[in-house]
Amino acid sequence: MAVGRWWSRGKRRGQQDEVEARLVERASYRPPDGELVEMLAAAEAGDDVAMSNLGAVFHSNGEPAAALHWWERSWAAGNTVAGYNLGMYHSAAGDPHRAQVVWEQVAALGDADAMLGLVRQGLERGDATTVDRWAPGILAQDEAFPITALGVAFRDNGDLDRAVHAFRRAEELGDAYAMEYRARLLTAQGRTAEAEALLAKAATAQRMH
């Protein structure tokens, strides 16, 4: 299985900033060889971030068994990124139930991306209860990326009111993507002056990821 596109989010552990890779769409991920050696040593020593990222490397190399080994070890150690990645793996492999089981545990720990995965599943199967359970948790986050993605999910599902609500929330956090998405909806409604003003604001705003 090809690996997804990865983006990294920094987090602070003690006095050090650490970066973890999250799986989204198909692509590849491989750190420089020197970093890979250090990552392997740290993973074998029990570092949960290194274990999670090592799973990403093996997944990129087309070694799913090794990827699952490290993600499962990392998730067992409480690493939510590894749990999220496990859910993404199972979802991409056509096993939405296993993805849901993992994501529910990860989402319960406050992970917005796992919540987003559950909302998307709920929208796909018309499960309003699941959507209503997890969408508010995403909107309550202070990271724009999952909120904007929630807006896109609602938009693609035809729920424009909830899409606009999510986009506005992401705009409050300064996300240019959310501004552009809502501007397109305004344009489709014939509200071109409002759309142009929003696009002008987006041109100087930050693109969150």
Domain map (residue ranges) of the chain: 1-108, 110-209
Given a cut of 80, whether residue 75 has pLDDT beyond it is: yes
Fold (topology level) of 1-108: 1.25.40
pLDDT band at 19, cuts 50/70/90?
low
pLDDT, average across residues 2-30: 46
In one-letter notation, the amino acid at residue 115 is: M
Beta bridge partners of 20: 9
What does R_g of the chain's alpha carbons equal in angstroms?
18
pLDDT in tens, 136-184: 999 999 999 999 999 999 999 999 999 999 999 999 999 999 999 999 9
Measured distance CA(20)–CA(32) in Å, rounded? 15
What pLDDT score was predicted for residue 139? 98
Q: Does the fold of domain 110-209 match that of domain 1-108?
A: yes
DSSP type of residue 21? E
Q: Which of 112, 34, 40, 109 is nearest to 78 (CA)?
A: 109
- Strand stretches in 14-125, DSSP E: 16-27
What is the architecture of the domain spanning 110-209? Alpha Horseshoe (1.25)
